[in-house]
Structure 1
Amino acid sequence: MRLSTVILPVYRWNEGGEVWRRAEELGFHTAYTYDHLSWRVPFRDTPWFGAVPTLTAAATATEGLRLGTMVTSPNFRHPVTLAKELMTLDDISDGRITLGIGAGTNGFDAAVLGQQEWTAGERADRFAEFLSLLDALLTGDSTTSEGRFYSAHEARNIPGCVQRPRIPFTVAGNGPRGMALAARYGESWVTTGNPKGYAEAVAAQRPDPGPASIRAQLEKLDAACAAAGRDPQQLRRTFLLGFAPEEPWQSLDAFVDFAGTYGELGIDEIVLHWPVPDTRFAADQTVFERIATEGLKQLG
């Protein structure tokens, strides 16, 4: 199992650089950051910096730590410009970039460019086309494509990614269409939990509502892989914490128990938010760092 972290882009770089370097010192596999232009309360009206420049700076401040978005969406991105930025990031980092990507949601960035917020169906349609074109752009020297939502005309991406055939995608998607896209394009799939499944498990008085809800998701993901003709074992499974009912970062023992349970279910990577005081991601920094350095070791 891998242990990674999300560092919110809330720090001026004279402070943020130290946070990213500390993440590497602690041994995290990957440090991600959110790719939003602004985010929800209490971050909406506080400092919030751009994901790509932040990752560029982090790439020059670290040596072996993998870096990535968690997650990028079509809300304010276009595949052509994003592909160029990702190719460049992969070069600057010497092949350490992972792209977390999803369909996006309403609110936050959904109308920032002046567009009407898309329906869930529109977001799914756009995401499918976005991901397909981005895959083509990152694997080819020149791409021409005419789509319903996104097009490219002789878009050049030379010399291409350091990682071949392209940087890895971690695809977010809990519905059938999102899981199908993860099975087709993803090196990994990411979930924040299954609120509906958790509620159903609680209603059924199951003793392990959290694991039961994730187990149901993973079964659907396996089915999506089978439908795509892909071995489910080829698709890694990532659990981003902070939105499910569990709070295993409260103690080292709680984390070890949590990681052991979800590892047995098939989760390959757990992602913890770097502590941010006075927010939902508040945590004791000493405990957090012990989890980073000792947590997985105790699983044997």
Structure 2
Amino acid sequence: MRLSTVILPVRRWSDGGREVWQRAEELGLHAAYTYDHLSWRTFREQTWFGALPTLTAAAAATSRMRLGTLVTSPNFRHPVTLAKELISLDDISDGRVTLGIGAGGNGFDATALGQEAWSPRERADRFGEFVGLLDRLLTEDAVTYEGVHYSADEARNIPGCVQRPRLPFAVAATGPRGLKLAARYGQAWVTTGDPKVSNAGGTPAESLAAVRGQLERLAKACAEQGRDAAELQKIMLTGFTPDRPLDSMDAFVDFAGRHAELGIDELVLHWPIADSVFAADTALFERIVTEGPAQLDAA
């Protein structure tokens, strides 16, 4: 199992921002992601920078670790402009970018451009069109497309991605339409667990069962698309289940081991942020990152 982190864009680059990304690479993490939001929940009234400029700076400050969004959504993005920025970022990073992408939610981003919040059906419709058009924009030199929600008129993306045929998509999805997109376009699938379990005060065992069910539905969606589910990496963004894997080394090994048995390939841990919902002991976090995989193998 690979370990990665998500570094929220809450630090000025000149005041610790650069050092966090460089430290993540020094620790040997597989990837470092960031949220692609205009603001987010409890951080809304605090410092919060843009995802793609942050990743561009991180690409220049690192050399080995993969980088990406976790996740980008259609809430305030358009496929044509996003494709151009992603191709540029893939070039600057020398092919180290993964695009985590999801349908988005009803948070602050949903109305930040002055639009009404979309219904669940419209959100799913937009997501399907968004992903399909973005796939074309990242693989074809010129694209013309007229859709219900998005259009492109001879949009050019030369020379394309460093990664061929395009940079990988990690599709966050749990519903049938989203899982179908993951099966068709994804190189990876992303879950945060089942929010219904956490919101209802569920147990770690109930959360594990919910993730097992998600993986079973993903396998079914892949079979319907003529794909082997083993082709997709399975990524879990932690911090949204009843578990507390950063409380101790034993807690991490237990959590990681149970999810590895299900088939999760990559765990993403939030980089600690003091006085926030992601507060954690930084020394313990670094010890988990550096020593945890070996202890997991031994267990």
Asked if Structure 1 and Structure 2 have the same fold, meaning a TM-score greater than 0.5 normalized by the shorter chain, the answer is: yes
Q: Does 1:214 align with 2:211?
A: yes
Q: Does 1:107 align with 2:144?
A: no
Matches of 1:101 and 1:66, distance apart in 2: 16
Could you say which residue in structure 2 is the equivalent of 1:131?
A: 131
C-alpha spacing 1:196/1:40, structure 2 compared with 1 (3 Å) = closer
Could you say which residue in structure 1 is the equivalent of 2:80?
A: 80
Matches of 2:137 and 2:220, distance apart in 1: 28
C-alpha contact 1:201 1:209 (8 A) present in aligned 2: no
Q: Does 1:58 align with 2:55?
A: no
**Sequence identity, in percent?**
68
Q: 1:53: how far off? A: 0.5
One-letter amino acid of the structure 1 residue matched with residue 41 of structure 2: R
One-letter amino acid of the structure 1 residue matched with residue 187 of structure 2: E
Aligned residue pair count: 296
1:74 partner SS? coil
Could you say which residue in structure 2 is the equivalent of 1:23?
A: 24
Runs (4+) off by over 4 Å: 197-202
Could you say which residue in structure 1 is the equivalent of 2:264?
A: 267
Matches of 2:225 and 2:201, distance apart in 1: 29
Q: 1:19: how far off? A: 0.3
Q: 1:297: how far off? A: 1.4
Q: Does 1:5 align with 2:5?
A: yes
Could you say which residue in structure 1 is the equivalent of 2:242?
A: 245
| Mean CA deviation greater in 219-228 or 89-98 | 219-228
C-alpha contact 2:237 2:269 (8 A) present in aligned 1: yes
Could you say which residue in structure 1 is the equivalent of 2:41?
A: 40
One-letter amino acid of the structure 2 residue matched with residue 61 of structure 1: A
**Aligned partner of 2:278 among 264, 275, 281:** 281
Deviations 1:204-263 (A, max 9, x none): xx9822211111111111111111111010011111011111111111111111111100
Could you say which residue in structure 2 is the equivalent of 1:193?
A: 193
2:100 partner SS? strand
Matches of 2:204 and 2:253, distance apart in 1: 19
C-alpha contact 1:100 1:169 (8 A) present in aligned 2: yes
C-alpha spacing 1:229/1:198, structure 2 compared with 1 (3 Å) = farther
2:110 partner SS? coil
In the superposition, the TM-score normalised over structure 1's length comes to: 0.96
Matches of 1:201 and 1:72, distance apart in 2: 28
Could you say which residue in structure 1 is the equivalent of 2:225?
A: 228
Q: 1:201: how far off? A: 11
C-alpha spacing 1:228/1:200, structure 2 compared with 1 (3 Å) = farther
Q: 1:198: how far off? A: 6.4
1:47 partner SS? coil
- The two structures, once aligned, show a CA RMSD in angstroms of 1.4
In the superposition, the TM-score normalised over structure 2's length comes to: 0.96
